[in-house]
Chains A and B, each alone.
Chain A
Amino acid sequence: MADVKAPVERPLSPHLFIYKPMLTMLMSIVHRITGAGLYFGTLLLAWWLLAAATGPSAYAGIGSFMSSLFGRLILFGYTWALMHHMLGGIRHLIWDNGYGFGAQQREWLAIATLVGSIGLTVIIWVLGYLVMGGSR
C-alpha cells in the first residue's frame, strides 16, 4: 500500500427532483407507501382476530369502530392499498420475468395498476354492502 491514491472526483448521479415527474415514478413510490401502510394495517387484522377470539363484547367493540365513518375510511384506504400493492406486485413479477420494459408497456402497466386498484376497491365495497344488505 505504498501509493494510496486520493478518491477520484467522479460525477454524482442526478437525484429524483431533477426529473420531470412521471406516472411510473409515482407508481413506484406509491407501491412502497402502500406496502408500509399495509404493514401497520396488520395491527387491525390482529385486533380483529383477537377480538373475535376474546368474546362477543370485544368483537362488538371493534365492530362499532370499523362501522364508524372514521373506521370505514380506514378500511376503504386499506382495501385500496391492498389492491394497489397486489397489482403493483404483479407488475413487478412481470418485470422480474423480463417483460414489460418498453416505454409504452411501462405506461400501460402503470395505468392498469391505478385503474385496476380503484376498480377492484369499488367492486369489493359494492360486494360488501350487498352482503350486509342493510343489516347495519
Chain B
Amino acid sequence: MAVGRMSTPLSRVRGLGAARSGTEAFWRQRLTAVANLPLTIAFVFIVISLLGRNHAAVVQILGAPLIAVILMLFILSITTHMRIGMQVIIEDYVHDEGTKLVLIMANTFFAIAVAFACAFALLMLSFKV
C-alpha cells in the first residue's frame, strides 16, 4: 500500500485513492461549460441567420470555414459536456451495477455517435460533396 500512515500528502495525491482517477470529469465539465457559453451564443446566431433560407444558401453558409469550425467546436464541447452530465445522472439514479454499466456504455456511444454524425455532415457541407 503506497497510501499509508507514513506516506506524504504528495504521494497520497499521486496515488489517487481506490478509484485510481481524480477530478478529470469534474474539471472537464467546468472547462466545457465555459467553452459552451460563447459557442452556444454563436450557434444561436448562426441558426437564426439560416431561418427561411433555401437549401443552397444554407449549404453555402454552413460550409464556410469559419462557420464550420465554430459549429464543430460547439459539437465537440457540447457532446463532451453532455456525456459527463448524463453519466452523473445515471450514477445518481441507477443502482444496479449491470444496468449502470450498460447505460454508461450506451451514453458514451450516443455522445460519440452524435458528435461524429454532426462533424461528418459539416465536413460534407464544407467540401460540397
Residues of A within 8 A of B89 (CB): 32, 35-36
Mask of B87-114 contacts with A, CB within 8 angstroms, 1/0: 0010000000000000000000000001
Report if A135-B114 is in contact (Cβ < 8 Å); known contacts: A42-B82, A49-B121, A93-B34. Answer: no
A46 within 8 A of B: yes
Q: Is A89 within 8 A of B33, CB to CB? A: yes
CB distance from B35 to the nearest CB of A (A): 11
Alpha-carbon gap, A127 to B44, bound state (A)? 11
Residues of A within 8 A of B34 (CB): 93
Which of B4-12, B13-21, B55-63 has 4 or more CB atoms under 8 Å from chain A?
A: B55-63
Q: Is B30 within 8 A of A46, CB to CB? A: no
CB distance from A96 to the nearest CB of B (A): 6
Q: Is A60 within 8 A of B55, CB to CB? A: yes
Alpha-carbon gap, A131 to B40, bound state (A)? 19
B1 within 8 A of A: no
Q: Is B52 within 8 A of A133, CB to CB? A: yes
Residues of B within 8 A of A131 (CB): 48-49, 51-52
Residues of B within 8 A of A53 (CB): 59, 120-122, 124-125, 129
Residue from the list B44, B52, B75, B122 in contact with A124, Cβ < 8 A: B44
Alpha-carbon gap, A43 to B117, bound state (A)? 10
Size range of the chain B interface in the assembly: 20 to 34
A128 within 8 A of B: yes
CB distance from A84 to the nearest CB of B (A): 12
Report if A38-B82 is in contact (Cβ < 8 Å); known contacts: A52-B58, A52-B121, A96-B30. Answer: yes
Identify the closest chain A residue to B83 (Cβ): A39
Query: Which B residues lie at the A interface, using CB under 8 A?
Result: 30, 33-34, 36-37, 40, 44, 48-49, 51-52, 54-56, 58-59, 62, 71, 75, 78-79, 82, 85-86, 89, 114, 117-118, 120-122, 124-125, 129
Query: Which A residues lie at the B interface, using CB under 8 A?
Result: 32, 35-36, 38-39, 42-43, 45-46, 49-50, 52-53, 55-56, 59-60, 82, 86, 89-90, 92-93, 96, 124, 127-128, 131-133, 135-136
